[in-house]
Amino acid sequence: MPRPPLHELTTETLADRAYRAVHEAIGSGELRPGERITERGLAERLSVSPTPIREAIRRLEQDGLVERTGPRTVVVATIGEAAVQDLAEVQVALRGLVARFAARHATPAQLDHLDEILDDADDLAILVQQHRAAGRSADRQITALLDTMQRFNDTVTACAGNPVLARLLEQTSVFSRAERRTRLLERVTADDRFGVDRYASHRALVRALRAGDSAEAERIVTEDARGGLDDLRRATGHPVPDQLTAPEQPPAS
């Protein structure tokens, strides 16, 4: 008997969808730490059977995003503030490593797509300025702008062609994503010039990726991610640690 084509593996596909839906809900803050989740409730909410829900929950448990409290009940994991800060540090390093891999593996089509995304961001930034100048709300355009820049980051991750790195990056960012988005939205709303320097660094990143300059790509992304983390710490009242410096090497004998 011939094997069915992959697209007919409905249970696996639905489990993937359920996993992503819950993962995104946790990352966005829709599902809060400590919130109770039942298999039946998720199945009804996502309009699927309990089987893919059980598989999705098993994967979320492995990721440390939920904790089991009963045979068919879990709660969203609660992670301490110190751990969130530690994960954010790891995320900075991972983003730099993703950029290094992207410089090695990005295709011309992917690089062209990155330029197109930045063009979209520029258009949205102009619309934001126009709405503000006319005294109109730019909330919708600002939200679209943030979504566009997230699309840029996701595309860079795809350019790396490294599923292990992509998964690690997703795992380290999920607990701080909602807070980061809130703080970034506040900055864009308050600062008419926000985005100019960041987009310049994004353009520089694409140039480094095109040149295959992995060290420069890693430097650009690490500095940008570090700056974003420091801004988040200041906004949330956390101290910004001094930059770590490499230890001095002993003189050659």
Are the beta carbons of 28 and 178 closer than 8 angstroms? yes
What is the value of pTM for the model shown? 0.70
Sheet holding 66-70: strands in order across? 36-38, 73-76, 66-70
| All domains of the chain in start order, with CATH | 10-76 (1.10.10.10), 81-235 (1.20.120.530)
Of 219, 246, 195, 236, nearest to 88 by C-alpha is 236
Predicted pLDDT of residue 237: 62
| In the predicted structure, residue 32 carries a pLDDT above the cut 60 | yes
> Degrees (nearest 5) of the Cα angle 188, 190, 194?
40
Predicted pLDDT of residue 118: 95
Which tens digit of pLDDT belongs to each residue from 62-83? 888 889 988 888 999 887 666 7
Give all strands (DSSP E) within the chain, no chain letters.
Answer: 36-38, 66-70, 73-76
77 or 207, higher pLDDT: 207
Predicted pLDDT of residue 192: 64
Q: Rounded to whole angstroms, how far apart are CA atoms 88 and 83? A: 9
